[in-house]
Amino acid sequence: MPREPSLQDPLRFNRKMPPCAAVIFGANGDLTKRKLLPALYRLAWEGRLAPGFAIVGISRTAMSDDEFREHMRESVTKYLEDSPFDEDLWKSFAQGIFYMAGDVADANIYQRLAACLKQVEQARQTAGNILFYLSTQPSQYAPIAEGIGAANLAKGDGWRRIIIEKPFGRDLTSARELNRRLQKVFQESEIYRIDHYLGKETVQNILAFRFGNGIFEPLWNRRYIDHVQITAAESIGVEGRGAYYQEAGALRDMVQNHLLQVMATVAMEPSAAFSADAVRDERSKLLRSIHVMKPEEVAANTVPGQYGPGRVGGEDIPGFRQEKGVNPESQAETYVAATFLVGNWRWAGVPFYIRTGKSLPKRVTEIAIHFRSAPLAVFRNELGEGNGDPGASTDYEAVPNLLILRIQPEEGISLKFNSKRPGAGMTLRPVSMDFNYGSSFGERSPSAYETLLLDAIAGDATLYTRQDMVEASWSVVQPILDYWSTRKFAFPNYTPGTWGPAEADEMLARRGHSWRRP
Amino acid sequence: MTPTVQTVKPDHILHELSELWVSLGKQEPDKDADSGVLRACAMTLIAFVDDDADSMALNDTIGRIMRSHPSRAVIVRLRESPGVLESRVFAQCWMPVGHHRQICCEQVELSVSLNRVGDIPSIVSPLTAPDVPRVVWFRSSGIASVPELGGIIALGDKMIVDTAHAGAPTFADLRVLANAGYIVGDLAWTRLSKLRQLIAQLLSGRDLSGIHNISIEFSGSEAVPEAKYLQAWLRSEIQSAMVDLRRVDPTGKARLKAIRVDPDIQIQVEANCAEYQTGSLRQWANLPECSEGDLLSEELNIMAHDRIFERVLQRMTAWTPQA
């Protein structure tokens, strides 16, 4: 059969991208400056965007196209990471950047936007494809979507997609309400809820590790895994985001979205195909399998924390309540530790410990899979415990195997196992077998925003969160929020530079476990 | 007195490699679990280079490759003077930015006279790392003519050449090897990837069978291999089109200058960039000149048959420039 003529070369070319215009609401905001424009510029630098790719920025500040381009140029030069800034390329890229000043609450702006997009489509040959990016206050998501719908911009010749940033609601009820309003204008398949954690190379690598290798999956269950620890620690405090953090807290800011998504990636069943819906179906199923705590279970299985003032590395660190914009009596948590159980055959009885916090000793995100110990300690360890006599002391166990999936800062995978120490006798010592992402793949990893923006343009929603996943994770978090809202905690309860409140250690100790020191 | 014949024993080299890792480990005592040296090896790279090759440039290339494809590198330096057969073993280490653990790759360097190239397969074969791919890279101008070439090619799962270099195997040689089932790569083809991608992007969504005329302009006395490859690729993939090579500046530096696709696409190829026009839209694309290490790295990513390249090789024919 004759071949269809094609110039594509999948072995060597980047993924083919359709032409489109990206409309950024909140174009003068921090996210646009720090993340979106640098990511889009980098994609242009790599030649990954279709010729004619256009950006229409919208915000309240009055500016001309040229002034906006100049602002964006400053941002790109300032925040571009690991990439050169090329003046000629910028000039070419900037020809496709346009700006409209206006209030998103004003219906007129959407009519003006429609006219602007028509011109852009003709000049830049964008084929009518439009990607809306809502980089605004979450309270504006629904009104903007409705404005887009009222101006008939949600339908047209090309495709339409809308990206929104977390938080997707403040609780289960508001998440459902937001979704109801979004879905009045857009189909679910057109709504891209961004969770930048899922765009990280190493989070994606969890899927490759689990489902691209035959040797781990048979061990990936309650029979071989004792427990799982997921840690997302920040060494810095809230640093100027006190007012936001006071409203959100660590549970909403980190656990409801990022960490439950990571947990779902670690624990989900293999999908039948690597397609957006197949993968998200499995993630969603896992999230819905997490045991929803009853009020009486919350106290035993969660620990909120808030850091007080302290001193780290010779520097005085203000406590959370001393941060600008924070109520001196604030009950917002800057730390959370929680024990989650998954009610399915694979994971029944295996605790998933999650902890996240500000002002912890170091910045690290990792998943530690603690395997069960060998059933019998027939060898001595370095402390001389264990003697090979099945009838002897039973209080010694061989050091269990540990698999660590490091997400940041040193991305990679380590497997700890026991090895014979050189010399006479059979004394075992734990050793580490390391895979370092940077050493095996020296190429620059794309930023999470580069990955996710490209995926949205290509129409691949695999790494985006679907509404049923959002609702499932709110269902898990809601009882904790409800219970905590009825309590008054003795905050602050941990010192900056420590691993959080002592109660978090006690929570694990009750199950015979202890936190790993990352 | 009979002159002593130099010999190299693979077992001895392997022993040296083993000792090298022990000594590297001792240099970085494992004080805390995250320090020390990380040994990385994803393939064996067997490079044949001329003895007078620019060592600094070669080290740059090898260093670049080690970061993207950590390998056991076996560098075979071919010397004119007869009788030489020597080896040495060392490691290339680097500390990735922001990390505190050195990553090291092992390197074996063999110096061999051209008249002893026949000894190479029996030395190199045991040195290849087990269970990972083996790649033979010909960077030497003399290697293509040695009688033992067959045994050397058989050392690798893939062979990489650069037909833009004098003395390199020809397109015809590559075609013979590809037809015999070898995986082959040519850095002259690899140099075209970014430009080919740009062309593919610009023609995306068009009915390719409606394209009838394409011209490729070059400068210099003869078309560079890249121009010939581009012509063969476009002929292979757009069979309705006449694809001409046109010399526009016979005295200029030999390079690709422009591509014109009727009716309305023009691409001017400049150093590190391309300026293109589609209809009324005039744009600029970044086409950075790739280092030898970048090109090699792209080829090392492809350890299977590259059907498009193999198809193009079949189309490479004798070339006659248009007036």
**How would residue A35 be classed by pLDDT, with cut points 50, 70 and 90?**
very high
Residues 6 or more apart in contact with residue B62 via CB below 8 angstroms: B47, B73, B75, B92, B107, B293
Structure tokens given for A339? 């024990």
The answer, yes or no, to whether residue B322 has pLDDT greater than 70, is no
Task: Report the distance separating Cα A508 and Cα A494, nearest Å.
Answer: 17
Give the nearest partner residue to B197 out of A47, A88, A441, using CB atoms: A47
**Which residue on chain A is closest to B205 by alpha carbon?**
A18
CB contact under 8 A, B208 and A92: no
Which residues, other chains included, contact A173 with Cβ-Cβ below 8 Å and sequence gap of 6+? none
- Among all residues of chain A, which has the CA nearest to that of B104? A439
Which DSSP state fits B240?
A: T
Give dist(CA B5, CA B23) in Å, integer. Answer: 31
User: Which of the pair, A205 or B213, is modelled with greater confidence?
Assistant: B213
Tell me if B312 sits within 8 A of B233, measured CB to CB. yes
- Return the structure tokens found at A485: 């809202």
Residue A51: Cβ within 10 Å count:
20
A-interface mutation test, from B94, B197, B198, most A Cβ less than 10 A away: B197
Q: Which tokens is A197 given?
A: 């954690």
Check if A196 is active-site. no
pLDDT at residue A148 above 50?
yes
Dist. CA A297–CA B302, nearest whole Å: 53
Does the complex come out with an ipTM higher than 0.95? Answer: no
pLDDT digits (tens, 9 = 90+) for A291-303: 999 999 999 999 9
Helix (H, G, I), strand (E, B) or coil at A229: strand
Query: A11 and B308 in contact by Cβ < 8 A?
Result: yes
* DSSP per-residue letters across A362-401: S-EEEEEEEEPPPSS--SEETT----S-TTS-SS--PPPP
- Per mean pLDDT, which range of A28-32, A228-232, B128-132, B166-170 is the poorest? B166-170
Q: Which residue of A has its CA nearest to B30?
A: A431
Q: A6 to chain B, minimum CA–CA distance in Å?
A: 6
Strand B213-219 and strand B242-249: the pairing is parallel
Q: Does B279 contact chain A (CB < 8 Å)?
A: yes
Residue pLDDT, tens place only, A347-356: 999 999 999 9
Supply the pLDDT for residue B293.
92
- Is A434 an 8 Å CB contact of chain B? yes
CB contact under 8 A, B200 and A439: no
Banded pLDDT at A381 (limits 50, 70, 90): low
Structure tokens at A148: 């887009």
B107 and B75 in contact (C-beta within 8 Å)? yes
- As given in the structure block, the two tokens for residue B19 are 């000792």
Cα B77 to Cα B55: distance, rounded to the nearest angstrom: 11
Distance from CA of B105 to the nearest CA of A (A): 10
Inter-residue contact B102 to B37 (CB < 8 Å): yes
- Mean pLDDT within A503-509: 97
Asked whether the predicted pLDDT for residue A316 surpasses 80, the reply is yes
Closest residue on chain A to B278 (Cα): A51
Cβ separation A440–B70 shorter than 8 A: yes
pLDDT above 50 (res A392): no
CB A89 to CB B204 under 8 A?
no
CA–CA dist A193, A465 (Å, integer): 5
Residue given tokens 């009518």 in the structure block: A128
Neighbours of B297 (CB within 10 A): 21
A8 touches chain B (CB under 8 A): yes
Cβ <8 Å between A125 and B302? no
d(CA B35, CA A157) in angstroms, rounded, equals 57
Which of B66, B103, B278 is facing A51, going by the closest CB pair? B278
Catalytic site residue from A196, A258, A291, A370: A258
**CB contacts, 8 Å: B284 with chain A:** 88-89, 91-92
Phi-psi region of A80 (alpha: psi -120 to 50; beta: other; left: phi over 0): beta
Contact between B200 and A16 using a beta-carbon 8 Å cutoff: yes
Q: pLDDT by residue (tens digit) across B156-187?
A: 999 999 998 877 888 888 888 899 899 999 99
B101 in A contact zone (CB under 8 Å): yes
H or E stretch covering B107: strand B102-113
Tell me what percent of chain B is helix, strand and coil, each rounded to the nearest 5: 35, 30, 35
Residue A450 has pLDDT above 70, yes or no: yes
A50 CB neighbours in chain B (<8 A) are 201, 204
CA separation for the pair B41, B104 (Å, rounded) = 9
Whether A444 shows a pLDDT value over 70: the answer reads: no
Tokens of A471: 């609702």
- pLDDT mean across residues, chain A: 90
Chain B hits for A13, Cβ within 8 Å:
193, 196-197, 200
Distance CA A268, CA A279 (A): 9
B189 to each of B142, B165, B232, B288, B310, how far by Cα in Å?
21, 13, 11, 16, 11
What does A302-360 look like in DSSP terms, one character per residue? EEEE-B--EEETTEEE--GGGSTT--TT----SEEEEEE-B-STTTTT--EEEEEESS-
- Residue A491 — left, alpha, or beta (φ > 0 → left; ψ -120 to 50 → alpha)? beta
Retrieve residue A516's tokens. Answer: 């790993």
Handedness of CA B67, B73, B78, B84 (dihedral sign): positive
Which are the contacts of A394, defined by CB distance < 8 A and separation ≥ 6?
none
A254: nearest Cα among A431, A407, A398, A390: A407
Using 50, 70 and 90 to split pLDDT, how confident is the model at B57? Answer: confident
Closest Cα to residue A56, out of A40, A79, A45, A42?
Answer: A40
Q: How far is A383 from chain B (nearest CA, A)?
A: 18
CA A178, distance to chain mean position in Å, is 20
Q: Is A422 on the interface with B (CB under 8 A)?
A: no
Q: Does A143 touch chain B (CB under 8 A)?
A: no
Q: Evaluate if residue B302 carries a pLDDT over 70.
A: yes
* Cβ contact, residue pair A91, B284, below 8 Å: yes
CA distance A458 to A451: 11
The verdict on A61 touching B (C-beta cutoff 8 Å) is: no
Instruction: Supply the pLDDT for residue B318.
Output: 47
What is the nearest CA distance from B117 to chain A, expressed in angstroms?
32
Residues in chain A: 518
Q: Are A144 and A182 in contact (CB under 8 A)?
A: no
**Higher confidence at residue A203 or residue A258?**
A258
Q: What is the DSSP string of A13-72?
A: SPPP----EEEEETTTSHHIIIIIHHHHHHHHHTT-SPTT-EEEEEESS---HHHHHHHH
Query: A329 to chain B, minimum CA–CA distance in Å?
Result: 39
Residue range B98-124: mean pLDDT, rounded: 84
The mean per-residue pLDDT over the stretch A329-337 comes to 96
Residue A114 has a pLDDT of: 96
Q: In the predicted model, is pLDDT for residue B297 greater than 60?
A: yes
Q: What are phi and psi of B317, to 5 degrees?
A: -125, 175
Predicted confidence band of residue A413 (pLDDT cuts 50, 70, 90): confident
Of A102, A98, A108, which Cα lies nearest the Cα of A150? Answer: A108
Closest CA to B202 of A16, A439, A5, A469: A16
The 10 Å Cβ neighbour count of residue A382 is 11
Question: From the CA of A92, how many Å to the nearest CA of chain B?
Answer: 6
Structural tokens at position B139:
């960077």
Percentage of chain B with pLDDT > 70? 91
Rounded CA Rg of chain B: 23
Cross-chain Cβ contact B197/A91 below 8 Å? no
